[in-house]
Structure 1
Amino acid sequence: MRYEREEAKQIAYGAIRAAGANDAVAHSLTEAVLSAELAGSKAVGFAHLSDYLDGFLKGRIAVDADPAIAFPAPAVITVDARKGIAQLGFDQAFDELTTRAATYGIVALSISNSFTVGELGYYTRRLAERGLVSIATCNATAQMTTLESGRAVYGTNPVSFAAPVADGRPLVIDQASSATAFVNVRNAAERNEPIPEGWAVDQNGKPTTDAREAVKGLLVAFGGARGANIAMMMEVLAAGVTGANWSMDAPSFAEGSESPGVGLFLVALKPEIFSPGFPERLAAELARLAGAGVRIPGSHIQVREIDVPAETIDRVRGYAQRSRS
């Protein structure tokens, strides 16, 4: 099913409101869902929206949370999401974040006590569109193991980087510390499709390509010990520095009534302070890299319409109908 942006917006917003969220929450989450779809990150677009709708209905996400924003230092912003969505806290801190980055050259943002952050690239991409270079990470309910542990110790702990490019779309890199995102495994299981080797282990810790067994098991880090080390660094920033729940302590984002209470950590800087003409320099370098055969992340994505499987939209609408009954 293909939708124009406004029609897709009405579907998402209506479902979120029907699930009990207030207007501010619904607006922030809707924009993030549409942005993920248009960026080609479909796994965290409408496909992930059902997790939010279920969270609203079951109490894992506060439907009317009012984030608490503080400024403990001139170049530091902290947000307590108060068991709500990270997107709303980011929206409310966004103007101060960009202003302080322009004023001081660099600023750090932490968000704690939130549900999963959705598409991590959403946060860095918006800052790049304001001329800032940024890097961000987040954690989530533990669903990834290491080869030597066999236990769920980390979330997928992604990292995203974005930078402004002259006369073009920002450069955005967004990737998990795990070999893939959990939603990709779940989607494969729903379609009864196999997954590649090296994505996950089953509930007995054995490598598997059966997505249904992988859902019962755990994800694994990309690149073995090196990927696991990156996951640990991201955990320290996203949970340790922000004061959010460590992934091992975070309640499930998919079951129960408790908020995962996880975190997001981000640093943004004004590149011209360090390197005048940075967007032009980056544009020229990316062109040179592309000419050398380097794949530039996101450069192949040309999304103009939002294309969502009918069953995904039916699931979203189903939550809305369930909440009204």
Structure 2
Amino acid sequence: MVTFSLTAAHAFAVAALTSAGANAAMAASLARATVDAEARSSHAVGFSHLVDYLESLLAGRINGKAEPRRTDPAPALIRIDADGGIAQLSFDLAFDDLAEKARTFGIALFAQANSYTSGELGDYVFRLAEQGLVGLAATNGPALIAGSGGGKPVYCTNPLAFAAPRKGAAPLLIDQSSSATAFVNIRETAARGEQIPPGWAVDAQGQPTTDATEAMKGAMRAFGGARGANIALMVEVLAAGVSGANWSLDAPGFANGEQTPGSGLTVIAIAPSLLDEGFEDRLDIQLTRLSTGYGIHIPGASKFASSITAHSDGIRLPSALVSRISAFAKGHG
């Protein structure tokens, strides 16, 4: 393992991204998101996922020179065409305006199309919660999971993320996919030649499988059966339908080819203080009651604690991963 300070990790990511063809703004935005994900212990969408971005920049699936195009079709709406670039850059460019619109109108919506996959979805809403806003986000990408009653992939992992501010404590943060597990878990298991647990995936014939390699040829399964598949469909409409992005069935792969997935991202920001001035206090009291009185796990606290620790202790990355990313920084990706 190799230890980096957060500043050094950011510089490391920027160097690799710049060498792979990202412009300065894109490199800075994605490096920030990558480091923050790693600091929160969201490793699957941290530096290991950065390799997907680097490979996609070189292959042309990400437009490294993208110039996001913004229109505001209504006072509380922001719409962005990512120009084949990354989702994080467009959101960064619109973030302050989205927060201000939410405070002004009580609710505001950001919709983006034509981007690469969105990375750590919780990051988008976590930042809103830090501004005293409630956030809800939905995103899609290439088809990976089967729908209700089907055996072929029709939706991406289609995650939902939700965050809300609480007084004097870490924001409530829920970030979960519609699939039984993350795609990277199956991919990594296949690379190791190991078995996956029952219920994660089906093979190319639509039959349940524990063979990770066969699962890669088939489809992932939604969590909770039909209920999870229904949530995936709801996310699909929010992320791709509302934004005008590619439906998952029409999205090119994020790990092969030369075309962007054309993913969608929709983020809703709500100003709860306009409805209840004591919202943050009441939420803190309620979450404390749930955790201390009923033993309920409150999502977000551990990620926030990990982030705080990372600011002083840094982050640790596998040496093989560091070598892989270093090769991009040296122009040998």
**TM (normalized to structure 1)?**
0.96
Question: How far, CA to CA, are the matches of 2:223 and 2:330 in structure 1?
Answer: 39
- What amino acid maps onto 2:175 in structure 1? D
User: CA offsets per residue over residues 76-128 of structure 1, 9 Å max, x none?
Assistant: 00011010001000000011101111111100110100000000001000111
| C-alpha deviation, 1:323, in angstroms | 4.7
Q: Secondary structure at the match of 2:54?
A: helix
Equivalence for 2:260: 259
- What amino acid maps onto 2:138 in structure 1? T
Q: Higher mean Cα deviation, 310-319 or 91-100?
A: 310-319
User: Number of matched residues?
Assistant: 324
- What amino acid maps onto 1:50 in structure 2? V
Note if contact 1:57-1:323 (Cα within 8 Å) is conserved in structure 2: no
Note if contact 2:63-2:83 (Cα within 8 Å) is conserved in structure 1: yes
Note if contact 1:18-1:323 (Cα within 8 Å) is conserved in structure 2: no
Equivalence for 2:321: 312
Equivalence for 2:291: 290
1:73-84 equivalence runs, <5 A: 73-84=74-85
Question: How far, CA to CA, are the matches of 1:149 and 1:72 in structure 2?
Answer: 37
Equivalence for 1:229: 230
Question: How far, CA to CA, are the matches of 1:160 and 1:321 in structure 2?
Answer: 36
User: CA offsets per residue over residues 36-93 of structure 1, 9 Å max, x none?
Assistant: 1112211000010011001100000000111111111010000110100010000000
Question: How far, CA to CA, are the matches of 1:164 and 1:73 in structure 2?
Answer: 27
Note if contact 2:66-2:85 (Cα within 8 Å) is conserved in structure 1: yes
Are residues 1:50 and 2:51 paired? yes
- What amino acid maps onto 1:236 in structure 2? V
| C-alpha deviation, 1:276, in angstroms | 1.3
Change (3 A) 1:319 1:216: farther
Identity within the alignment, %: 51
User: CA offsets per residue over residues 176-213 of structure 1, 9 Å max, x none?
Assistant: 01111111211222334432221111223222223233
Question: How far, CA to CA, are the matches of 2:148 and 2:238 in structure 1?
Answer: 22
Note if contact 1:142-1:155 (Cα within 8 Å) is conserved in structure 2: yes
Equivalence for 1:242: 243
Question: How far, CA to CA, are the matches of 1:284 and 1:176 in structure 2?
Answer: 28
Note if contact 2:162-2:173 (Cα within 8 Å) is conserved in structure 1: yes
| C-alpha deviation, 1:231, in angstroms | 0.5
| C-alpha deviation, 1:148, in angstroms | 2.1
User: CA offsets per residue over residues 113-156 of structure 1, 9 Å max, x none?
Assistant: 00000000010001111110010100000011135211110001
Q: Runs of 5+ in structure 2 lacking a partner?
A: none
User: CA offsets per residue over residues 194-243 of structure 1, 9 Å max, x none?
Assistant: 32221111223222223233222211100001111110111011111100
Q: Runs of 5+ in structure 1 lacking a partner?
A: none
Question: How far, CA to CA, are the matches of 1:193 and 1:6 in structure 2?
Answer: 36
Equivalence for 2:302: 300
Q: Secondary structure at the match of 2:72?
A: strand
Q: Secondary structure at the match of 1:275?
A: coil
Equivalence for 1:144: 145
Q: Secondary structure at the match of 1:34?
A: helix
Note if contact 2:170-2:300 (Cα within 8 Å) is conserved in structure 1: no
| C-alpha deviation, 1:298, in angstroms | 2.7
Note if contact 2:171-2:300 (Cα within 8 Å) is conserved in structure 1: no
- What amino acid maps onto 1:103 in structure 2? T
| C-alpha deviation, 1:16, in angstroms | 0.4
Q: Secondary structure at the match of 1:186?
A: helix
Equivalence for 2:91: 90
Are residues 1:109 and 2:110 paired? yes
Note if contact 1:117-1:264 (Cα within 8 Å) is conserved in structure 2: yes
Q: Secondary structure at the match of 1:162?
A: strand
Question: How far, CA to CA, are the matches of 2:244 and 2:114 in structure 1?
Answer: 8
Question: How far, CA to CA, are the matches of 1:165 and 1:48 in structure 2?
Answer: 30
**TM (normalized to structure 2)?**
0.94
RMSD: 1.4
Q: Higher mean Cα deviation, 159-168 or 214-223?
A: 214-223
Equivalence for 2:25: 24
Question: How far, CA to CA, are the matches of 2:179 and 2:37 in structure 1?
Answer: 19
